[in-house]
Amino acid sequence: MNSSVKKPRRLRKTVGLVAVTAVLAAAATVGITGIATADNREAASQSGKKTGKAPTEQEIAALFDEWNAALGTGDAEVVADRYAPDGVLLPTVSKQVRTDRAGIVDYFEHFQENDPVGEKTETIITVLDRNTAVDAGTYVFTLTDPETGEVRDVEARYTYVYEKIDGDWLIVNHHSSAMPAGD
């Protein structure tokens, strides 16, 4: 094997394999071939950092509130701090896939011009293990046009894949898409 090729992250645990497979299958339908990889996180996972108890669904749900509070600061760097260094963002209002911090910061600099406030409307949380969880569902963003002051709501679907890295829960994959018309 070529040593310059990154090894895939090992998210596939016995518990939750179906959930991760569903997330990856959904991503594949929009042309994404996988999720973030990082040899350093793989090494950390194998070196005994997976200790303690699994998080509760409430703890995982609260991560959105922390992300939303970061969004409310108006500082794109603060929002980007919620993402893993190699996190992937498939944003709601941009066609560009963001695969590094600079891209994530760029997206949120523009998105935050609309004074976004998010509120979850449906949440499905799957705790895969002590250090990995998926939060999927729907949310509504209230956006304010910076030029006209017009307020509008954007309904969207989301998936956040979280991983506990060096003691912090970070987003390794975030997909958000506007709610389609129809059922």
Tokens at 123, concatenated: 């949440």
Q: How far is the C-alpha of 171 from the C-alpha of 80, rounded, in Å? A: 9
Check residue 108 and give its pLDDT. Answer: 97
- The H-or-E segment that residue 46 falls in is helix 39-46
Check residue 26 and give its pLDDT. Answer: 40
Check residue 41 and give its pLDDT. Answer: 43
Q: Which domains does the chain have, with CATH numbers?
A: 17-178 (3.10.450.50)
Check residue 52 and give its pLDDT. Answer: 77
Check residue 168 and give its pLDDT. Answer: 97
Q: How far is the C-alpha of 35 from the C-alpha of 174, rounded, in Å? A: 10
Q: How far is the C-alpha of 132 from the C-alpha of 126, rounded, in Å? A: 9
Per-block average pLDDT, block size 10, for the chain (183 residues)? 39 36 38 40 43 90 97 97 97 94 97 96 97 98 96 97 97 96 80
Check residue 51 and give its pLDDT. Answer: 57
